[in-house]
Amino acid sequence: MVQLNALALHGAMRSIRTRPVSSRLLQYRQFAASTRQAKENQSFKSQLYESTQQRLKRERAEQEKFAQYQTQSPAGRSAALVFALVFFSTGAYYLGSLKPAALPASSTTPLSEVEAPKHNVSTSNLQAAWADFVEILGKENVSTVSSDLELHSGSDWSSYSPKDTEKPFLVLYPSSTEEVSRIMKVCHQRVIPVTPYSGGTSLEGHFASTRGGVCVDFCRMDRILALHKRDMDVVVQPAVGWEDLNEEIAKDGLFFPPDPGPGAMIGGMVGTGCSGTNAYRYGTMREWVLSLTVVLADGTVIKTRQRPRKSSAGYDLTKLFIGSEGTLGLVTEATLKLTVKPQSENVAVASFGSIQNAAECVTKVVEAGIPVAGVEILDDIQMKCINDSQTTSRQWKESPTLFFKFTGTPNGVKEQISMVQKIVSNTAGKSFEFARGPEERAELWSARKQALWSVMAMKRSPDDHVWTTDVAVPMSRLPDIMEATKDDMTKHGLLAGICGHVGDGNFHAIILFSDSEKATVEGVVHRMVKRAVEMEGTVTGEHGVGLVKRDYLEHELGESTVDAMRRLKLALDPLRLLNCDKVVRTEQPAPGEVKEW
């Protein structure tokens, strides 16, 4: 057959070649067209045949599958149907869950409605973040040295003892608002918790890294950015110490009144809303902050106000962040109000037979309208600790003692001293002494500033601890709560001193204890706080809430108020990255963790 076709083709070609060119060309085209048509007809038939065969195979397969289904038992068919329903229902639920959750409709957030935070503190995530932080800050400003991690976990003077696991993975040292913002953007993206650290002088566990993560130490942000002499305000970074600030602005005759413990820095002072010995006359930190620059949890930078001394423009976000203890944002700049440095200042010391006599003296000073700058009280045990520890250069009468601070014009200070001296003598005062020069003034006031350190110096072993706490009550109730607390500590055999800002109803208990005495001290502090609340007082006058006082807020303010605070926290820090677990809880406490009221 192939040979015949070849011969036919050969003959046709010979026939074409023997004819004229035009005729040969026409015949060649006709032959090619007929050959192509034959091939197409053959291809179409083949495709049709193949398509038919495949369709028949599919039909047979489907018939066999259906036949198998028909031969299944009813139970098997039901199981398959249930599986199909479950599969499609699960898929539909998943697709539905991709929709954004509805916004809360209530104004508060009870703790029962809050899920546990979901941080990513895996080693791989933190190591990857380390590379990001090195790019932002430089390798020298990102520390994983164990001594640094230990230093940034707690302190000997804090009333909170951190657990071994409560340490940061690394410590960061930014130098600008921009760097802090970039740090927070990394932490927000990677869901890493952040603990801020300023001077490290706080007392209620404020910088314990309860969730690990990273610690942001502001020690490199220690500059005075701008001093406006005529406006009497100054812009500073958070690691500026209040003592250093006063030393610098004194050159221009200016003064910043808040004076907490030595070593405190502006960032921590803003965070706790502190005060100090000048609070009686000048008020607390809240009265001396005009504006703040704050980095929020997602890295957003905001400024709460401009520089004028007053403003009614919008919400007072400045006051919101003061006392928030780093749980709502990280303060990177503060504009502080200043006042004129007093022309003259002096101090006086008066001792009494009892706390009641000392309190009566203060009441009469207040009623007489004498504008003293500060009035402090130390009880007999506290004075004995100062003597025994030899933390000052002189010996003191070991009895309840009042320390007065006077400021103003030279004549005004002399007049104030004279008036107070008369009141002391009329209220069973045992002694009265005032300074006659700068050195004597520093010596007389040194006992008040050495209160904490004198108790710490009385440690009986390296394992002893110091619990420092404070409450505040209406001034008329201060003698009652001080006496009750003093009796409670004495009854349980604790070595403890009491000191306080008697002029504004705020007092501190500084308690020395061993590990075996910890439960006893917890009970004493618990009862002290409970008394303050029952006397219409507060659980903390100036130390802040931190970790230790958070569960007492509901008793002081009410459950709904704390729920409103929690809503604010979740609004500004929805991932709960900033200073975790401080001020208000955002996770249910463990069984037995909250003391029974």
Radius of gyration (Cα) for the chain, nearest Å?
40
Residue 273: which of 510, 474, 500, 538 has the closest Cα?
538
Q: What are the start-end ranges of the E strands in 356-458?
A: 374-378, 401-408, 429-434
Distance of CA 125 to the CA centre of its chain: 21
- Strands ordered across the beta sheet of 374-378: 429-434, 344-352, 401-408, 374-378, 495-501, 506-513, 465-472
Neighbours of 441 (CB within 10 A): 18
In the chain, which stretches have pLDDT less than 50?
1-22, 24-25, 28, 39-41, 44, 48, 66, 69-70
Q: How far is CA 387 from CA 7, 185, 379, 456, in A?
A: 134, 52, 13, 13
Q: What are phi and psi of 321, to 5 degrees?
A: -80, -25
- Under a CB-based contact definition with an 8 Å cutoff, are residues 256 and 336 in contact? yes
Spatial contact of 173 and 513, defined as CB atoms under 8 Å apart? no
Instruction: Write the CA distances from 353 to 364, 429, 507, 520, integer angstroms.
Output: 17, 7, 19, 29
Residues 76, 115: Cα–Cα separation, whole Å: 42
DSSP string, 20-31: -HHHHHHHHHHH
- Partners of 479 in beta bridges: none
Strand partners, 334: 236, 292
Residue 227 parent element (H or E): strand 224-228
Fold topology of 224-340:
3.30.465
Beta-bridged to residue 432, according to DSSP, are: 350
Structure token pair of residue 122? 């895996």
> Which residue, among 508, 505, 509, 498, has the nearest Cα to 478 in the 3D structure?
505
Q: How far is CA 500 from CA 387, 446, 530, in A?
A: 18, 15, 18
**Residue 55 burial (CB < 10 Å; 0-12/13-18/19+)?**
exposed
| 164 neighbors 212 (Cβ within 8 angstroms) | no
Q: What's the rounded Cα separation, in Å, for the pair 134 and 557? A: 44
CATH number for the domain formed by residue range(s) 343-435:
3.30.70.3450
Q: Which sign does the torsion angle of CA 518, 522, 523, 524 carry? A: positive
DSSP 14: H
525 backbone dihedrals φ, ψ, rounded to 5° = -65, -40
Asked whether the domain spanning 459-597 has the same topology as the one spanning 224-340, the reply is no
Residues recorded for the chain: 597
Tell me the three state secondary structure of residue 579: coil
Q: What is the overall mean pLDDT for the chain? A: 88
Predicted confidence at residue 324, as pLDDT, reads: 98
b/e burial code for range 80-106 (CB count within 10 A of at least 16 → b): eeeeeeeeeeeeeeeeeeeeeeeeeee
CATH class entry, domain 123-217: alpha beta
For the whole model, what pTM was predicted?
0.81
Of 176, 165, 126, 170, the closest CA to residue 144 belongs to: 170
Q: Angle between the 518-534 and 478-491 helix axes, to the nearest 10 degrees?
A: 160
Question: Cα 469 vs. chain centroid, distance in angstroms?
Answer: 20
Q: How many CA atoms lie within 13 A of 356 on its CB side?
A: 3
Kindly list the domain boundaries of the chain, sorted by start residue: 2-61, 123-217, 224-340, 343-435, 459-597
User: Which residues are paired to 497 by β-bridges?
Assistant: 510
pLDDT of 294 reads 98
- Phi, psi of 142, deg, nearest 5: -125, 110
The reported pLDDT for the residue numbered 49 is 53
Sign of CA dihedral 518, 524, 526, 528: negative
- Token pair in block for residue 235: 């812009």
Q: Name the token pair of 551.
A: 């569960």
Dig out the tokens for 544 from the structure: 């802040």
What are phi and psi for residue 485, nearest 5 degrees?
-65, -40
Name the one residue in this structure whose structure tokens are 């933390």.
Answer: 391
pLDDT of residue 51: 56
Percent of the chain residues topping a pLDDT of 70: 83
- Cα gap 582→573, rounded to integer Å: 13
Query: How is domain 459-597 classified at the architecture level of CATH?
Result: 2-Layer Sandwich (3.30)
Structure tokens that stand for 94 in this block: 């998943």
Q: Compute, in degrees rounded to 10, the torsion defined by CA atoms 97, 100, 103, 104.
A: 30
Residues 6+ apart with CB under 8 A from 110: 559, 563, 566
